[in-house]
Structure 1
């Protein structure tokens, strides 16, 4: 009764904020999709909720979807959610309890997810995983960092350790303006200034930006703090980088860029897709993405200028961040029968195999790609069918440290260049020391503090608050008992983790 009361209370709060429970065509996902396979061996119907980052999501008649169903004996009903409202859809599905059979959650520390796990509302997969050999090939560090109370309640949405989201530059603009690749933040600023003021696109107008501000924080926080993530290790303890001098220096840097017109003035209200559009329309000289995602961002500029090229930086200020090895996790609600649970795990194990992962991200041979000298060359049909690591590859995932080196349609020389960038990054990349660590207080109130911090950063960047106001804000955080409690709890979790290594 207690768990129902907690979830019901959360629903009231969500609905009061103007959100509605997720449904398909007016019927709930449970009513329409949550069916068991029958005794005659009919395909097991499995509903999945996930995100997509292709121009459109694959449709229900997609040939790759049909092929996956054929090879796995399933009927898949995939609820594709746009990245623009992905966080809201997750919250509503969790709060309502009207969840699909397999649901992705972006953040391991999601308070409601953690609460629901503790209440026994999701399957503990630990006793089953040994039977699925491809899933168990995921790195041990990824399985360990996604445990909750020592158990595997989630299937990590596995991704490479290297090649993650980082700054990238229009290489052709650099060459046109006779500029060098920046290696420090001051050099970066000078390149931004040139991109904004020296007409790199050659249209005779001052209509370009140095940086589109796509996913700017915490990326720039980390670059200025030479760190990875919210927490930095110093003298054996975790330090919150919000209170560090590097974060202050980043705000001064960005305020100068804002004042000089090097970044969009409306960046605080830009959705990620809108910031990205500045890059895809050739209006920004810097963007962010994985080395794979950059190929998607340069596709449109290349149609007008064949030499257009986004080149991922190897590092900046001598540092680049490692990925945590996963981008979200999948959970299976306890209301799913055990028979279907095993079928879902078999499906995900297929996706973790070389066969399944290749089918998901490359498609069908001679339909979506041609193979030439061992290299898969995408056909136009791959784009038409939205075949990508950013669609089916969000669900069916094999661990491959070069996964982010390739995208459909990419020529081999770009693929080889990306592999070299990944190899070079591995020599200087910094891991996130807080992966897998949980603070109970942060689960309850951490998002509120994070919002206050991010709001204050924006206000300083756009000049609504001074940098001195930021200093006072940081002093308040250092005196805030609840905020300090989170730091104490994170350090306790960190020391416990280190004692086991």
Structure 2
């Protein structure tokens, strides 16, 4: 008769073992363990078909950690990653394996998803035509929101800005006219850290990797980048933002200032309303009970008016290490992570503990505070292979809000307003979501990657120097950025993107396609 240890060993071998990455955002509540060992990871190993060891990656430095792991021969089997500029070089270097055979031989759930949504195959291919990436179908809505203190506007007899010049004037008043009434000059007109950088860039029509559509051509958006840099510099030079914003890499200082009622205009992710409610609105109302927020539409800028970036509706999120020893186990985990069971658990927690589902109704949260503490900090990252809206309207973000809670209803109204501001005649920043940009050939991708530290629209050294340095103008920064770009061979990248857009743009998902998916999903949600 076999002993217990032998039986356990056989059981473990039969289940298979995989290693999977998980983002570490440094936001784990006290008492919840670590990002790789917590209530969610324990449930995944208990309910799933394989044994999973999670490997944490710093959210803002995942590429550096992955490169180190690959160099040392210890890269995980399954890598969950959003950024194409992290994944594409790994594909080109042969570090990742094609996944067609895995899907064909071992998959059920993901195979069915791929058959239902062929765009997942189109978006997941490498330049060699082989399928390398797993993906998901997202609810597509504006990804970020611009929040403005409505009570401050009313106190100072101001209106919601319609142009960036008006936005500057309002921020100046918020800084200088004591909107919180405490007799001190201790408020900022605007937060300029972390998500605010991306939001302002989008407001001026540009996002990574810095290309814009003009006269039906895809060109490098130097004028847009110069304009948004000048806008940021004006705020910084006049003391309308925290002078130390540049060191606030994850936005934690700006967030705390906002929660303490010291920020007049605040920009952040707003695609999951319950997360904004939990992480921001409750804290703001606790600290400043009379605070009121309104959503501000993207204003008109000197280079035009644009829609905000939408959540990528067809998003590639998973790739497989070429050295993975058990492709079948990896595929089993992907099928589990793409299942409705997995998605519902990440979305609503445990039935009877965090939520309750009545026949014919959507799950209802019964202990939101417990879910927030035990799931909210990382459920989205564990759920990077889940496609929530495919399970029906219960899984649209707004459906999670409590209709009986006045504060949650205020957030719901803001969330709905953020979508209602969309003008489908306008272009989003860039030709599409940055994750949908076509993959450059290897040599051109290296040029782009190597120059980003200097010329990146977000916080490239040249543009940041123009914001922080009194006698260094955005005009000069543009000249220096173009010179650095062209010296590195950037004209070749410009020419490739321009030619692709002229001849092959219909092979990728563009803004108009995202708008169409948005309309379809809203129709389903409103049934």
TM-score strictly above 0.5:
yes
Task: Please state how far the C-alpha of 1:485 moved relative to its aligned partner.
Answer: 1.0
Q: Distance in 2 between matches of 1:37 and 1:177?
A: 70
**More displaced stretch, 435-444 vs 319-328:** 319-328
Matching residue within 157, 172, 192 for 1:193:
172
Q: Distance in 2 between matches of 1:92 and 1:309?
A: 46
Q: 2:114, 2:120 within 8 Å by CA — same for their partners in 1?
A: no
Task: Please state how far the C-alpha of 1:306 moved relative to its aligned partner.
Answer: 3.8
Name 2:16's counterpart in structure 1.
Answer: 44
Name 1:451's counterpart in structure 2.
Answer: 453
Q: Which aligned pairs between 1:59-458 and structure 2 lie closer than 5 A?
A: 59=33, 62-83=38-59, 85-110=61-86, 113-129=87-103, 131-134=107-110, 135-136=113-114, 140-141=118-119, 143-149=121-127, 150-156=129-135, 159-213=138-192, 214-225=194-205, 230-241=210-221, 243-244=222-223, 246-274=224-252, 275-291=254-270, 292=272, 293-295=275-277, 296-308=279-291, 310-317=293-300, 318-319=305-306, 320-325=308-313, 329-337=317-325, 340-370=326-356, 374=362, 376-377=364-365, 378-387=367-376, 391-400=380-389, 403=396, 405=398, 411-412=408-409, 414-415=411-412, 417-425=414-422, 427=424, 428=426, 430=428, 432-433=430-431, 435-439=436-440, 440-453=442-455, 454-458=460-464
Q: Distance in 2 between matches of 1:116 and 1:41?
A: 29
Instruction: Give the secondary structure class of the aligned counterpart of 1:77.
Output: strand
Distance 1:175 1:499, change over 3 A: closer
Distance 1:125 1:257, change over 3 A: same
Deviations 1:154-188 (A, max 9, x none): 22366433221343323444344443222321121
Name 1:8's counterpart in structure 2.
Answer: none
Equivalenced residues, count: 460
Distance 1:139 1:39, change over 3 A: same
2:466 aligned with 1:460, yes or no? Answer: yes
Q: 1:155, 1:329 within 8 Å by CA — same for their partners in 2?
A: yes
Q: Distance in 2 between matches of 1:49 and 1:133?
A: 21
Q: 2:102, 2:327 within 8 Å by CA — same for their partners in 1?
A: no
Deviations 1:126-159 (A, max 9, x none): 3444644454378554542342122221223664
Distance 1:218 1:438, change over 3 A: same
RMSD over equivalenced CA pairs, Å: 3.5
Q: 2:189, 2:241 within 8 Å by CA — same for their partners in 1?
A: yes
Name 1:56's counterpart in structure 2.
Answer: 28
Distance 1:288 1:499, change over 3 A: closer
Name 2:515's counterpart in structure 1.
Answer: none
Distance 1:126 1:180, change over 3 A: farther
Task: Please state how far the C-alpha of 1:209 moved relative to its aligned partner.
Answer: 1.4
Task: Please state how far the C-alpha of 1:56 moved relative to its aligned partner.
Answer: 0.2
Instruction: Mark the runs of 5 or more structure 2 residues left unpaired by the alignment.
Output: 1-7, 509-527
Q: Distance in 2 between matches of 1:223 and 1:301?
A: 25
Distance 1:123 1:53, change over 3 A: same
Q: Distance in 2 between matches of 1:289 and 1:248?
A: 23
Q: Distance in 2 between matches of 1:468 and 1:93?
A: 41
Q: Which aligned pairs between 1:25-44 and structure 2 lie closer than 5 A?
A: 38=10, 42-44=14-16
Q: Distance in 1 between matches of 2:430 and 2:311?
A: 8
Instruction: Mark the runs of 5 or more structure 1 residues left unpaired by the alignment.
Output: 1-35
Q: 2:190, 2:263 within 8 Å by CA — same for their partners in 1?
A: yes
